[in-house]
Structure 1
Amino acid sequence: MNITITDSAQEYLSSLLEKQDVDGMSVRMFIQQPGTPYAETCLAYCRPEESVESDEVLNLPKLRVLIEKNSVAFLDEAFVDYSKEKMGGQLTIKAPNAKMPKVSADSPIEDQINYVLYSDINPGLAAHGGEVSLIDVIDGQIAVLKFGGGCQGCSAVDLTLKEGVEKTLIEKVPGLTAVKDSTDHSVTDNAFM
């Protein structure tokens, strides 16, 4: 895991922790909705009793940072900086892998599925105002998906699911055997066809 937190960011975050007046306070770093277009990088206070055994720990000269286990791959190459300005300052967090982590054959199956959805499948569906997202993985081999936008209620969604989405996912994600659609297609307000 390669995360850079500049000296100025460490000083700034350390000063915020000191104001909390709690011994052993750390910073928790995590991604909300990792691996999706809605991913957001977050920093939060973490009291000693809130730390989790599976957290990755970054012991920096000026502070301790806890990285949520599920966010580690998404935070690789993250960069945190603080620049002072006339009216205070600006904390900047860049996490280039938050929306699309580096995945490999040993990445969790959910990450592999999301990678294929957002890099291969959704760009094609976007032309019709549609998208598909992962809801769950059953028994480590069946992906449960939800279609949205122009795909919801579209008369061609069964063909899209079987010939496009399922075929692509099974081909690109080892161990995946089937895809199920959890979408209510009786709602046709924004359907493409």
Structure 2
Amino acid sequence: MAGIQFTDSAQTYLADLLSKQNTDGIGIRVFITQPGTPYAETCIAYCKPGEEKEDDQKLQLEQILVWLDGISVPFLDDALVDYATDRMGGQLTIKAPNAKVPMVNEDSPLNERINYLLQTEINPGLASHGGDVKLVDVVEGGIAILQFGGGCQGCGMVDVTLKEGIEKTMIARIPEITGVRDVTDHTVKENAYY
């Protein structure tokens, strides 16, 4: 079963919404549009009896019935649905840290494993500087060719970041990689992080 959690406050809020639908057996359906891509969005919708899909997984919680979209289930690991109140009312929030990340393992193609590492470990650190890095290619000898973007482009620290951070991490985590190279033109200085 998927690792999605609903807080008590979220269950209470959703149970109240469902009770106003005047439909016996109504639940909610959780799904992700474009899972495993940067455009992934986690959604919750009403699900009347019979509207669930064949591959949905049923999750009976204390207060509500939840249907989990079968394709979305692997991307819902560590997801949290919460309802928080403030002086303006309340807000239902869904945090799904794995929604945008393709599921990979040791048997996945090399470029998928590299992209997974970049998205889950390397880019979150670069994002604080408004930057990111993406894989361009892997060339002979196990050299990963990377391209920096955003605030990394034009930053004087790119060489240090590349060698001390990214290259060490990639070599340690992906045995086929022997080094990394940068194809980005760092003479463009607009938006650079200093």
TM-score, normalisation: structure 1? 0.57
* 2:71 counterpart SS class: helix
Residue pair 2:105, 2:113 contacting (<8 A) in 1 also:
no
User: Which ranges in structure 1 are unaligned for 5 or more consecutive residues?
Assistant: 130-171, 173-193
- Counterpart residue number, 1:52: 53
Q: Supply the distance in 2 between the matched residues of 1:63 and 1:53 (Cα, whole angstroms).
A: 20
Q: Supply the distance in 1 between the matched residues of 2:27 and 2:95 (Cα, whole angstroms).
A: 20
* 2:9 counterpart SS class: helix
- Counterpart residue number, 1:188: none
Residue pair 2:32, 2:42 contacting (<8 A) in 1 also:
yes
* 2:72 counterpart SS class: helix
Match status 1:127 vs 2:131: no
Runs of 4+ in 1 over 2 A off after TM superposition: 101-107, 112-122, 124-129
C-alpha distance 30-105 of structure 1, shift in aligned 2 (>3 A):
farther
Deviations along 1:10-55, whole A, 9 cap, x unmatched? 0001111111111111110011000000101100111112012321
Q: CA deviation at 1:2?
A: 1.3
- Counterpart residue number, 1:61: 62
- Counterpart residue number, 1:13: 14
Q: Supply the distance in 2 between the matched residues of 1:113 and 1:46 (Cα, whole angstroms).
A: 39
- Counterpart residue number, 1:73: 74
C-alpha distance 71-114 of structure 1, shift in aligned 2 (>3 A):
farther
Kindly tell me the number of residue pairs found equivalent between the two proteins: 127
C-alpha distance 18-113 of structure 1, shift in aligned 2 (>3 A):
farther
| Equivalent position amino acid for 1:44 in 2 | A
Residue pair 2:104, 2:113 contacting (<8 A) in 1 also:
no
Q: Supply the distance in 2 between the matched residues of 1:73 and 1:21 (Cα, whole angstroms).
A: 32
Residue pair 2:33, 2:42 contacting (<8 A) in 1 also:
yes
C-alpha distance 5-36 of structure 1, shift in aligned 2 (>3 A):
same
Name which one, 1 or 2, has greater alpha-carbon Rg: 2
C-alpha distance 114-50 of structure 1, shift in aligned 2 (>3 A):
farther
Q: Supply the distance in 1 between the matched residues of 2:58 and 2:107 (Cα, whole angstroms).
A: 22
Q: CA deviation at 1:127?
A: 3.0
Percent same amino acid among aligned pairs? 52
Deviations along 1:76-126, whole A, 9 cap, x unmatched? 11011101122220111111110114433688xxxx799447436971348
C-alpha distance 104-90 of structure 1, shift in aligned 2 (>3 A):
same
Q: Supply the distance in 2 between the matched residues of 1:114 and 1:45 (Cα, whole angstroms).
A: 38
- Counterpart residue number, 1:2: 3
Residue pair 2:31, 2:44 contacting (<8 A) in 1 also:
yes
- Counterpart residue number, 1:26: 27
**What are the equivalent positions in structure 2 for 1:28-43 lying under 5 Å apart?**
28-43=29-44
